[in-house]
Structure 1
Amino acid sequence: MANGLDDVVAAETVLSDVDGLGGRLTIRGHSLPELAGRWRYPQVVRLLLDGFFDDLPDDAKLAQAIGRARVEVFERLQPMLPALVPLDVYSGMRAGIALLPDGDTLTDALLLIAAPAVLTPALLRGKRGSPAIVPNPQADHAADMLRMLSGTDTSPALATALDTYLVTVCDHGLNASTFATRVVASTQAGLTSAILAGLGALKGPLHGGAPGPVIEMLDAIEADGNAAGWLRAKIARGERIMGFGHRIYRVRDPRADVLKAVVRQLGGAGATGRRLAFAEKVEQTALEVLRQAKPSRSIQTNVEFYTALLLEAAGFPAEAFSNVFAAGRVAGWVAHAREQQTTGRLIRPLSRYVGPVPDLVA
């Protein structure tokens, strides 16, 4: 039996392929470098949803529809914000999404895709005692998310950076949250039920909960002043170095390079540039320490490391990093849910009982 279902093929999909040995990510026939920084997030949403909704419009009209969906999510959920704000920001987002209709139409799908981008800024502002900002349906999706967070129009460079991030994390094979989404969708439950399963899986520290601790690690190393010593001590205690290693990739995570390039474009002589320069030194030190400590394993930089730097530069606190991850991944979840609903069957694997057996004959 494969431990953790390693190497078990549980679904056939047209959506994405992760080549762990070659370090390549393919999304509906396109390599990640083809999409990231070249396609806007609504375009990639259309790419993912193509074939799963009969009324899917063209790129321009879909971008407009996502804008309208942001407004509708805000109108539906604004009255609930006082009850959601006291929760941690991820639980508040999840609880808000649970209030959306549980259908399987394109309208239902777009509400779910819009919801994390609307709820995350609203909840963060609520925790600061500031009012939530109404979405602008005409704005670019990533730019509007940043405007709803800060209260002002953001720089085009920062909006492009966040958009590139959303594209980069939109889908990634049959990871834990996507598998959870497909299991629920296979019961013919609605899209909201399926996406809530994905959100539950993403919350775990071994999945979407991982980027936040990267910031804590960088801060601790900077305070300590000895990166190599700090990292060696952590390994000696049997603890994980955050931002390094991946269950599938045996080489460098291709998403790390995409995001590193984006963060470099945001750099310069300011705080972001100094943070990046420090992080790059930590990265090189960590790779060398890991190579020495674990010579039989190839542990490389993963998507979490530069995700943390990008989202920090965009103004998101570490506790909201998983929310922004969900804002990008939700399109992939919706596509997988629809693919499972329309082409799959009920997912019902077997288990092997290893407990005590009662006497069958007295």
Structure 2
Amino acid sequence: MNDQADGERRLSTRQAAQLLGVKPATVYAYVSRGQLTSRRDPVGRGSSFDAREVEALALRTRREAAAPSGAELAVRTSLTLIEPGRYYFRGVDAVELAARHRYEEVAEWLWTGTLPRGVRFSAPPELLAAARRAVAALPAHSGPIDRLRMATAAAAVADPLRFDLSAEAVLGSARCLIPTLAAALPVVGRAEPATGTLAEQLWCRLTGQEPHPAALGALDLALSLLIDHDLAASTLAVRVAASARAHPYAAVSAGLGALEGPLHGAAGRLAHRMLVEALERGGAAPVVADHLRAGRRVPGLGHRLYEGEDPRATALFARLENVPQAGPALAAARDVVATTAARRPGLHANVDLALAVLTVSCAMPAEAGETVFAVSRTAGWIAHALEEYQERPLRMRPSGQYQGPRPPQPMP
């Protein structure tokens, strides 16, 4: 092992190969794939390698070799743990954390493991101007995910440092991108606040109502609860993009693309419409009956990770009890659960139903839940991208199981 004057430990090719348990030629294959960096030895012949980098690669290689073969795709993460009836952000109860801290503080905890008090995110003028121009150019019928995808792409182009994948640079981009996404959306009726929390910035883009403090607190709680939830489809898409070393804006775009699928992002919209219909028809029974008669699942009920009620729904329902105008929508949601439970007792409320109570009671449009979910989850996507940037590049490259005709086949 070679000790440099500045204290940096360097390894020769032979030493690196021994530590990794491979042939010297494989060490250079790691270099060509971007898994190691080499430095030409100015004195001797050959190259040298940073000992810490080699040791980290050896550790990752041993862990991957120990992983069970043939199992479902599993991704190491230190972010979110889901257990029966509860979930945790970096080991801390996520519901309790979200109840005590604002969205920005919870995001910082997920990113860094620190909890800076009173932190606020602000959109840089150049990024915001580019995002607003891009969103304004869209057709009037564009949906929230359309606008957020366009704003993300425009913000990326406006950021010349987007290709810097160091943790410091990625976090800087995240703290700018999230408020840019919120502020790029069109204002609905009420004047835009000059400053404020992300919830305050987002409120005037979701409804024309004046923000009651309890309702604004419920929105902030919803944002905090939804930041991350293990490997949902959109989060996996983000990690695949980050595995290919896509910059954070591109990784977020991948998440937004997956979120637009009807099986992932549309649940809040469906639950909102169901509650509105239940209120208009004076009860949940005819609405639930219509869904079941058509062979559709009742929106806002059930979650494959929880046998009982989704803890995010429990927390948000409790907070909505303090929102004066939420009473009718809360009663309608409980009616939906009770009506369905009469025949299917295993179905409980999930966070989409609780989020629908918020959007209905605050006169927000049906797609408002998608907006809240996407803006909130951007912080979680960034956290997963940060983790993936520390892993072996392009590791999420499964092999296809070819089912087509065996060659050789005649030329068509």
Q: Same fold (TM over 0.5)?
A: yes
Contact 1:71–1:136 (8 Å) recurs in 2: no
Deviations 1:326-352 (A, max 9, x none): 111110000101110123532111221
Aligned with residue 153 of structure 2, among 95, 98, 110: 98
Q: CA deviation at 1:114?
A: 1.6
Is the 1:70–1:111 Cα contact (8 Å) retained in structure 2?
yes
The DSSP-based 3-state class of the residue aligned with 2:87 is: strand
Gaps in structure 1 of 5+ consecutive residues: 1-5, 292-297
Is 2:73 the counterpart of 1:16? no
CA contact (8 A) 1:28 1:48 kept: yes
Specify the alignment match of 1:79 in structure 2. Answer: 133
Q: Residue 41 of structure 1 is aligned with which of 103, 107, 112?
A: 103
For the residues of structure 2 that align with 1:80 and 1:233, how far apart are their CA atoms? 40
Q: Hey, what does 2:328 align to over in structure 1?
A: 274
Q: Distance in 2 between matches of 1:117 and 1:231?
A: 34
State which of 227, 244, 247 in structure 1 corresponds to 2:284. Answer: 227
2:179 to 92, 97, 114: 114
**How many aligned positions are there?**
330
Q: Does structure 2 conserve the Cα–Cα contact (< 8 Å) formed by 1:181 and 1:333? A: yes
Q: Give the counterpart of 1:312 among 360, 365, 368.
A: 360
Change (3 A) 1:134 1:228: closer
Higher helix proportion: 1
Moved more, 95-104 or 174-183: 95-104
Q: Are residue 357 (structure 1) and residue 406 (structure 2) matched?
A: yes
| 8 A contact 2:242–2:248 mirrored in 1 | yes
Kindly report which structure 2 residues correspond to 1:54-73, keeping only aligned pairs within 5 A, or say none. 58-60=116-118, 63-64=119-120, 66=121, 68-69=122-123, 73=127
1:7–1:240 distance in 2 versus 1, CA, 3 Å: farther
Please tell me whether Structure 1 or Structure 2 has the larger radius of gyration of its CA atoms. Answer: 2
CA contact (8 A) 1:181 1:198 kept: yes
Mapped contact 1:263–1:310 kept (Cα < 8 A)? yes
Match of 2:194 in 1: 136
Tell me the residue number matched to 1:294: none
Question: Given residue 130 of structure 2, which amino acid in structure 1 is its aligned partner?
Answer: R
* TM-superposed deviation, 1:163: 0.7
Comparing 29-38 and 83-92, the one that deviates more: 83-92
Contact 2:99–2:221 under 8 Å retained in 1: yes
Task: Normalising by structure 1, report the TM-score.
Answer: 0.82
Which deviates further from its counterpart, 68-77 or 347-356?
68-77
The CA deviation string for residues 210-266 of structure 1, in whole angstroms up to 9 with x for no partner, is 111112212333444563354244224321110012232232211110111121111
Deviations 1:144-187 (A, max 9, x none): 22245557862322221111000000000011010000000000
Determine the structure 2 residue equivalent to 1:295. Answer: none
Q: Distance in 1 between matches of 2:244 and 2:104?
A: 28
User: CA, structure 1 residues 356+249, in 2 after alignment: closer, same or farther (shift >3 Å)?
Assistant: farther
1:285-310, Cα deviation, whole Å (9 max, x unpaired): 1222323xxxxxx3221111011111
User: What is the aligned partner in structure 2 of residue 243 from structure 1?
Assistant: 300
C-alpha distance in 2 between matches for 1:360 and 1:151: 64
**Percent identity of equivalent pairs:** 34
How many Å apart are 1:278 and its aligned residue? 2.5
Q: Contact between 1:69 and 1:111, CA under 8 Å: does it hold in 2?
A: yes
Report what 2:89 is aligned to. 27
1:154 is the counterpart of 2:211: yes
Among 104, 108, 112, the alignment partner of 1:50 is 112
Kindly indicate whether the alpha-carbon contact (under 8 Å) linking 2:88 and 2:94 is maintained by their aligned counterparts in 1. Answer: yes
1:187 to 2:268 alignment = no
Q: CA deviation at 1:70?
A: 6.4
Whether 2:263 is the aligned partner of 1:263: answer no
Q: 1:166/1:230 Cα in 2 relative to 1: closer, same or farther (>3 Å)?
A: closer
